[in-house]
Amino acid sequence: MNHASKTSSPGLDRNWTLVAAGALMGCVAVGAVFALAVLLTPMSAATGWSRAGLSSAMTLAFLSMGFAGFGWGMLSDRYGPRVVVLAGSILLGLACVLASRAGSLLQFQLSYGVLLGAAVASFFAPVIAATAASFERRRNLAISLVSAGVGVAPMTLSPLVAWLIGQYDWRETLLIVGVLSWALTLPAVWFVRATPGAATAGPNDIAGTQQMNAGRALRSKPFIVLGLAYFACCAAHSGPIFHTVSYAVGCGLTVTAAVTIYSMEGAAGLGGRLLFGVLADKLGAKRVLVAGLLVQAFAAAAYLRVSELDGFYAVAIVFGMAYGGTMPLYASLAREAFSPRILGTVLGAATLLSGLGMALGPLVGGWLYDRFGSYTWLYLGSMVVGLAAAGIALFFPSARRRRNDDGATSLSQPA
């Protein structure tokens, strides 16, 4: 079976320009979203807008990202990924420019939250679906490399935003980010295309799911387990990602030093994506995902044990590697379970659930801080939710097949 699958799809595993373009666009998009983590304190001081109010813009961005991702995924299945990412590239720069001109908190929340979130969503489900469909033997590595752009953002865009806010006010900073977004993403659109003939079943595809339509797929056990695990995973790490800079400042660190913790998480996440991608190709995506979720859960709580920069760095390396490494594996599991014909829709729906999870962290973290004057409950809650994500992921059906006595292929369930 394996020999046949390799010889039947000679065009697969060659679309590396798509991988590079996807990584670049993901870096710029995520860097634009998380610029708010760097701008939170100076914006609050300059405008008088509350920290919770500004944080809610991030919550709106993730909610918008989730709902728009579902729509972008369906559109990419019908019209192809290039048209979708072109629209997203235009909206990305526009959202930053409009946010820089906001005259009220509501205007900022709508432009930076709703519009920016919708733009960013166009770079995930369509590009990841095209990548998953274009690779077979090195699928986990390819998806991880696309996702690596997310890990590069804290090492590139975040330090740039930190430098810009030291030279200009927050409005000029966001304006520059918007123009830069156009300059980097629009040329990359040309390289976004799936490999022709890639929509074929792979050797590890779960039996019986390749003929599903989108409606049946979204009601199936593989998607329900995948979506719930994705939601819990993102709910667990979004709060620490967003609020750790403010938490570190509260521990006595300068803003510049605190931002380097975020950058350290991103660097570790980049390494985690590559490491987990290679391990998943060898050991299986499910095993690596569960292990990574466990590490992520305990690393989130470990932030409560540190107060010095060296301690923050140590935890950031482990936490960043865990959450960064696990994120691409959901797309790989989805490709094992579903046909490339509907993969954009499936990943778009998964993005919706992950966006809801990501929306919880910034909002709940800001509310907990305003209520208790501490981030303790945020980090403890992140650990509990992260452990739940690992437990849910254990129920994802195994991709291994066995033969019944009558010769029919069926799914081998995990122990």
Q: Hey, what domains does the chain have and what are their CATH numbers?
A: 11-399 (1.20.1250.20)
CA distance linking residue 327 with residue 272, whole number of Å:
10
* Confidence (pTM): 0.73
State the pLDDT confidence band at 184, using cuts at 50, 70 and 90.
very high
pLDDT digits (tens, 9 = 90+) for 76-129: 888 889 999 999 999 999 999 999 999 999 999 999 999 999 999 998 888 988
pLDDT digits (tens, 9 = 90+) for 192-204: 876 554 444 444 5
Provide the 10 A C-beta neighbour count for residue 415: 5
pLDDT digits (tens, 9 = 90+) for 361-372: 878 888 888 888
Question: For residue 380, what are the CA distances in angstroms to 114, 231, 301, 388?
Answer: 29, 17, 5, 13
Report the SS3 class of residue 324.
helix
Of residues 3 and 309, more confidently modeled: 309
The candidate with the shortest Cα–Cα distance to 65, out of 347, 413, 409, 392, is: 347
pLDDT over 70 percentage in the chain: 87
Report the SS3 class of residue 21.
helix
The candidate with the shortest Cα–Cα distance to 315, out of 256, 366, 262, is: 262
pLDDT digits (tens, 9 = 90+) for 126-157: 898 888 888 877 888 888 888 888 767 777 88
CA distance linking residue 139 with residue 158, whole number of Å:
29
What is the token pair recorded at 137?
A: 């033997």
At 211 the pLDDT is 57
